[in-house]
Structure 1
Amino acid sequence: MVSHGLLNSGKISAVFRRNGFMTENTSATAQPQFTRWSLALYSGLLYLFTPLILLYFWRQGRRNPAYRARLDERFGKHKIPDRYCGGVVFHCVSVGEFLAARAMIQRFIQRHPHTPVIITSMTPTASELIEKTFAARAFHCYLPIDTPTAVSRFLNQAKPLSIVVLETELWPNLVHQCRRRKTPIVLVNGRMSEQSMRGYVRLDWLFKQVWGALDFCGAQTESAAQRFQRIGVPADKVDVVGNLKFDISCSEKLRNEIKDYKALFGERPIITAGSTHEGEEVQLLKAFTSVLKQHPTALFILVPRHQERFQAVAELVEQRGFKYVRRSAGVPVLPTTQVLLADTMGELMLWYGVANVAFVGGSLITRGGHNPLEPLALAVPIVSGTHVFNFQEVYDQLDSLEAVNWVTADDQLDLVLERLLDDENAQLKTAHAQSLFAQHEGATDRYLDLIDDFLERSGDE
């Protein structure tokens, strides 16, 4: 991993002093400014389309009623308890970003037990998981729609010392108002694919100034750092800090749960398909039908990515004639059960852990893939489609170690799954790729030091 200086210096604060971040002489006028016309045009369009956004929430509510709840939060009209204001806001747009940030936020709270913490998201699924994880120690709410009035209401209440955004989720009015208030906004675990970069370049009339107004951008990789610079982040405000997803911690509790479920399932061959999307389950169930001919006792654990699709996937499994149970029903998995629909949240690592083979979803369709490091951490052989642009560099490293079993055509999926189930050494072949974790460990500590530095400087102003 290459660094522009931050990782090699050993003293993050020295980098900030050298670059002039959040020093006594920093002023709003010294930073990149938003042009009035671009921000006004963007805000006007957003106000215009707000009814359509509400319609989207209403339609999503047909599958997941949580989308219709707490709409006041979408406009910043809710009350944030005073004890959570005046600290740090962590924004994790959805489940994936929150899972990547969870250990970092937990460690931050341990470091700063008296600092208020607000965690925002955009989806009910992430909301449920955040509230389950942090209970009363952190306050959760939805980040409001990015209109000037909604953002202003939120910031007026939250009064953050700093805002920490995960991966790429930046909004023009949020960044603009943070700049006006001299509230530092920091991007951590930043990722930027070639495809995403091209999209931002097409909208550089607006987003170039958004990226330019960041106080700091911590990138996962050197290539991501270079792409951030190409879309407007100043070179002295971006550095390679690392990928939080390499700092996976498999707790003793998780390992005990995995052990218990393995004992429950016995010697059955198990395939787990994690974070699947519409269009993938059909292919997976078709492949599993073929697998059952060679492995009649096999169990297929299906974990859809989005909560609002649980019912539709259950209906699909039933239509295909499988004997199945839903995790949420609390019904035991019998020896005759063919499919376990894991329709609960926060248990993906458990289901990867009990498997002989793990398929990582979002990769058979042009979704960009999901995190393959989760099954790798448990030494479970990985199967993936080729659409992995959201995790391209991670997959490239795994591929160089021959730790990915690629599916390049629909009719290959069953063959790949059967081959891995028949290979007694498949898990050992995967385990050697776990050396990647040692090569990339430490990102959590580096990001925490980064946040601490901004927090200290915000408090000194």
Structure 2
Amino acid sequence: MSRWLYSLAWWLALPLVFGRLWWRGRKEPGYRAHWAERLGFPDAAAATRMTLWVHAVSVGETRASEPLVEALLSSYPDARILLTHMTPTGRATGKSLFGHHGERLVQSYLPYDTGFMVGRFLRRFQPCVCILMETEVWPNLVHSCARSGVPVALVNARLSERSLRRGRKMGALMSDAARAIPLVAAQTDADAARIRSLGAPQVEVTGSIKFDVVPPQAALEKGAWLRARFGNRPVFLCASTREGEEALVLDAWLRVADRPRGALLVIVPRHPQRFDEVEKLITARGLSVQRRSRLDAGVGDADVLLGDSMGEMFAYYAACDCAFIGGSLMPLGGQNLIEACALGKPVLVGEHTFNFAQATEEAVAIGAALRVPGADALVAAALRLLEDEGARAAMGAHALAFAGRHRGATLRTVELLRRLLR
């Protein structure tokens, strides 16, 4: 596919794209705001100082970018960060994490990937570097940056076999983009090999920046607040669950007659637009539910706590006894288990973890995580852990050791970026 056809497809699709934004805005109003930014007309002030551009598409990438953004602000005291996103939840997360930096960090949506829109965006901000987080490679963006003399770096990069196959189907469109990226900092050797196969000229293995994320003190305090409202009940957390998984877990939970006395199931869906849907799944099974947004005096006798809040995942991990990492019971690739490990929590995962394959395999091998074949095995394993304090302590110690072993990716990445900027 040529870039010309690719750009034409974008222009033809724009009415459908904006229709979809409006439709999604029914449940998540943020999708109906800042549309001009998506067309290359940013609201943020134009460049008046050295601008380091970091693109973090949504919540996960934004949270992962925290150590890097903080390190860049410290390393370049006269610079500002331009942080771009594609989703309102990512934008809200960025504001929560970095709002205290004031004018040193500005936010915008990334314009859609047409040369015209991206070019206008570049002329407005005049960044000295474009830093893409994890998997965000846009052909026209990369081409426009190269034409404008803005070096592009893909950092904390990961590429699964499935994504590699999709990339190869795009032919020269993706390989040309890969060859135009002068620096890739990959999470693992396997990620690096797959990215090199697309034609990227310089790929270094730096590890995952996510290991350098430090649990904020405020999140730990919020976790203690939550735990106090849970009382002495054993707590099983299902974190970042995806569509279809909640029903599997709830049905498996109900099939167990001899659960530990007072065991509390906490479900935190990954996408906020599904909070009401998940509440209906819970009540349809005859279970009582308490929503986090209405949690004041305590959880009471509720069977399930629905985590209907954003930006509190560290707090949920801090408050639980063991945690399942969502997206892994179904073939969705799984989510990041590093935050749970950093807090010394026993981790359970399903069979589908291809998005974080190496980290998950290492966590399982070291005894920090346990892989289960399905929902019934998941609930059975969780209930065993809730009743076995010694097993929880052992897994928790392994989790802390696993998280500590892999720290340092941020410093390695910043040094590579320093060379690129030089």
TM-score by length of 2: 0.94
CA deviation map 1:318-342 (0-9, x unaligned)? 3223222222235433331222211
Q: Given the superposition, is the C-alpha separation of residues 53 and 292 from structure 1 closer, same or farther in structure 2, using an over 3 Å criterion?
A: farther
Cα root mean square deviation, aligned? 1.8
Q: Given the superposition, is the C-alpha separation of residues 63 and 263 from structure 1 closer, same or farther in structure 2, using an over 3 Å criterion?
A: closer
In the TM superposition, what is the alpha-carbon distance from 1:215 to its structure 2 partner?
Answer: 1.4
In the TM superposition, what is the alpha-carbon distance from 1:312 to its structure 2 partner?
Answer: 1.5
Report the counterpart of residue 371 of structure 2 in structure 1. 406
Report the counterpart of residue 106 of structure 2 in structure 1. 139
Report the counterpart of residue 354 of structure 2 in structure 1. 389
Task: Answer whether contact 2:290 2:299 (CA < 8 A) is retained.
Answer: no
Q: Given the superposition, is the C-alpha separation of residues 355 and 84 from structure 1 closer, same or farther in structure 2, using an over 3 Å criterion?
A: farther
Q: Secondary structure at the match of 1:156?
A: helix
Q: Given the superposition, is the C-alpha separation of residues 62 and 266 from structure 1 closer, same or farther in structure 2, using an over 3 Å criterion?
A: same
In the TM superposition, what is the alpha-carbon distance from 1:84 to its structure 2 partner?
Answer: 6.3
Say yes or no: does 1:309 pair with 2:274.
yes
In the TM superposition, what is the alpha-carbon distance from 1:111 to its structure 2 partner?
Answer: 2.5
Report the counterpart of residue 107 of structure 1 in structure 2. 71
Greater shift after overlay, 70-79 or 385-394?
A: 70-79
Greater shift after overlay, 146-155 or 205-214?
A: 146-155
CA deviation map 1:278-319 (0-9, x unaligned)? 100111222333457422411221111112212212222232
Which of residues 409, 414, 418 is equivalent to 1:448? 414
Distance 1:42 1:86 in 2: 32
Report the counterpart of residue 322 of structure 1 in structure 2. 287
Q: Given the superposition, is the C-alpha separation of residues 315 and 85 from structure 1 closer, same or farther in structure 2, using an over 3 Å criterion?
A: farther
Greater shift after overlay, 127-136 or 153-162?
A: 127-136
TM-score by length of 1: 0.87
Distance 1:264 1:110 in 2: 38
Q: Secondary structure at the match of 1:294?
A: coil
Report the counterpart of residue 116 of structure 2 in structure 1. 149
CA deviation map 1:33-74 (0-9, x unaligned)? xxxx81111111111111121122122112212112211111
CA deviation map 1:93-122 (0-9, x unaligned)? 111111111122022212323202110011
Give the unaligned 5+ runs of structure 2.
none
Distance 1:315 1:332 in 2: 23
Higher Rg of the two aligned structures? 1
Task: Answer whether contact 2:44 2:107 (CA < 8 A) is retained.
Answer: no
In the TM superposition, what is the alpha-carbon distance from 1:85 to its structure 2 partner?
Answer: 6.1
Say yes or no: does 1:82 pair with 2:84.
no
In the TM superposition, what is the alpha-carbon distance from 1:86 to its structure 2 partner?
Answer: 4.3
Which of residues 196, 204, 209 is equivalent to 1:239? 204
Q: Which aligned pairs between 1:189-338 and structure 2 lie closer than 5 A?
A: 189-234=156-201, 237-291=202-256, 293-338=258-303
Q: Which aligned pairs between 1:117-196 and structure 2 lie closer than 5 A?
A: 117-135=81-99, 136=102, 137-196=104-163
Distance 2:93 2:256 in 1: 34
Distance 2:83 2:48 in 1: 10
> How many aligned residue pairs are there?
418
Distance 1:407 1:438 in 2: 25
Which of residues 404, 408, 414 is equivalent to 1:438? 404
In the TM superposition, what is the alpha-carbon distance from 1:424 to its structure 2 partner?
Answer: 1.7
Identity %: 37
Greater shift after overlay, 309-318 or 441-450?
A: 309-318
Task: Answer whether contact 1:85 1:157 (CA < 8 A) is retained.
Answer: no
In the TM superposition, what is the alpha-carbon distance from 1:78 to its structure 2 partner?
Answer: 2.9
In the TM superposition, what is the alpha-carbon distance from 1:408 to its structure 2 partner?
Answer: 0.8
